[in-house]
Amino acid sequence: MEPTPQTTMSPEGPTLRIRGVNGWFPPFPSSPADQATVPSTDLVQLADISTVRTLAPGQMLYAQDEDATCLFLIRSGIVRISHLTVEGRRHILAFHWQGDLCGLMDEGRYVNSAAALCETEVLAMPRDRLHGLLLTQPLLQNEFLVKAAAELRNTQRMLVTVSGTDAAHRMASFLLECTHHADHYDPATHVVTLFADRRDIADYLGLSGETVSRALGQLEQIGLIRRNSAREIAIEPDALRIYVEH
Amino acid sequence: MEPTPQTTMSPEGPTLRIRGVNGWFPPFPSSPADQATVPSTDLVQLADISTVRTLAPGQMLYAQDEDATCLFLIRSGIVRISHLTVEGRRHILAFHWQGDLCGLMDEGRYVNSAAALCETEVLAMPRDRLHGLLLTQPLLQNEFLVKAAAELRNTQRMLVTVSGTDAAHRMASFLLECTHHADHYDPATHVVTLFADRRDIADYLGLSGETVSRALGQLEQIGLIRRNSAREIAIEPDALRIYVEH
DNA sequence: CGGACGTTTGAATGGACTCAACGCACGTGG
DNA sequence: CCACGTGCGTTGAGTCCATTCAAACGTCCG
């Protein structure tokens, strides 16, 4: 490819995401009106510089340490963001949904890996062209800023949860989180359909797969959930909410 | 130019200086030139909408759940960002330094609390006026986006560290982190001057104060550090780096 | 010299981990 | 239709690490 003029030590971009579902929040919005006003022309131009990619279940979107060329905006599906430590431990930092951004990079390389959990469509936005576009479209850039702040907020919450509560409480939090995704929760029957296997949930909550099982058993014994099958969990939303808040 | 007395945005306070220390990075810099190019007019305008506040050691900058009116840019000193859970557990999410932003909010209220650890100067930027300014100054907004991404990256790193390693390794990471702050590390003698007490370090690393002590003892026994006093730690930087990477 | 506070150290408890076996659902082939 | 294999989930036993409660130690300041 073309040699980058001078790369210097200038690193790169961020991962950003907003989870449209659950009442996320703008970080610096002066008024609700303002925040809604991303002109459709901006979006058209965003589409102009981007390409659409479709991922099969399990397919990797990008890999940790790989040269970062694009940021990604998720149009549908679920993306799992994971990080591998030098000791070989895998951490899942987030699950991303429609409307979320991903592709956080440092020094021109992706910091984490991203893979689709199910059939997933993303918008691939070349880094350079996106940067140029953001500088000419302040409202669009503001949208990105909002998403970044939302993602930061999410990661902070995760940090507090993981380092502050025991296995059962983390599992309860996770189940309530699942509740916000329409495709995986039936409000009528209160049944959650888990979109990740035990190993993924464990790596997300900072536990082992066995402990996730035991935590589910514990919650079931207290009567907060009932396991219809490994992936189908009937929950008591209100009781669960009270439980996580101790 | 009107002589705002103290608001001399000139000395180190002027540019939104990217925290050079520990792996900070711009997100979408197309070229090194671009990233440096926050026009000084932007900074003047930023100063115009802001006021300077000076905090005494221990003084609170803002409190969790309080109405959020301002974002803050730190000009000097150290700010401790903490979050209190409903169960009464306190988590320290970050220590912020010169050039860092703080004041993350949700639904118009601060998500966390912020307090100064030592005499600290901040620029208080009213939310509404800042929002307006960012929309008219794309380079400035991009600077904010860079900082948000950097902060996200940092929080992710913290998450991985806290949920993946034992007390001694977390402590070692923290000591190396201290190394990046000139005022608290002497490269000649390899002595780190801790800027937080045991309790704060514990809440930052997801440990108890006693465990922090024991972790220090452990590192000392291996010969990676030597405790001159409670706050003065002589370290073996290279050995420590090898240790944290297992 | 004596509090007061922060730090260190000790002993006992508890929670999560590892290792291992077992159960269960699904698919394949006989 | 049953025998078998495989992948995932669950359950059990033992170990290790961090926590809690408690006491001793220092250091700074009265």
pLDDT at A30 over 70: no
- The identity of residue B175, as a single letter, is L
Burial string for B22-34 (b: 16+ CB within 10 Å, else e) reads eebbbbbbbbeeb
> Confidence band (pLDDT; 50, 70, 90) for A39?
confident
Predicted pLDDT of residue A10: 30
How many residue pairs bridge chain A and chain B with CB atoms within 8 Å of each other? 175
> Confidence band (pLDDT; 50, 70, 90) for A36?
low
B206 touches strand C (CB under 7 A): no
Tokens of B129: 């006026």
Distance from residue B90 (CA) to nucleotide C7 (C1'), in Å?
20
Tokens of B74: 């730190």
pLDDT at A102 over 70: yes
pLDDT in tens, B164-207: 999 999 999 999 999 999 999 999 999 999 999 999 999 999 99
Neighbours of A181 (CB within 10 A): 18
Contact A142 B135 (CB under 8 A): yes
Which parts of the protein come within 7 Å of strand D, by CB position? A 197-199, 209-210, 212-214, 216-217, 227, 230-231; B 166-168, 206-208, 210-211, 214, 229
Euclidean distance between CA atoms A189 and A194, whole angstroms:
15
Residue A84: helix, strand or coil by DSSP? strand
pLDDT at A15 over 90: no
Predicted pLDDT of residue A23: 25
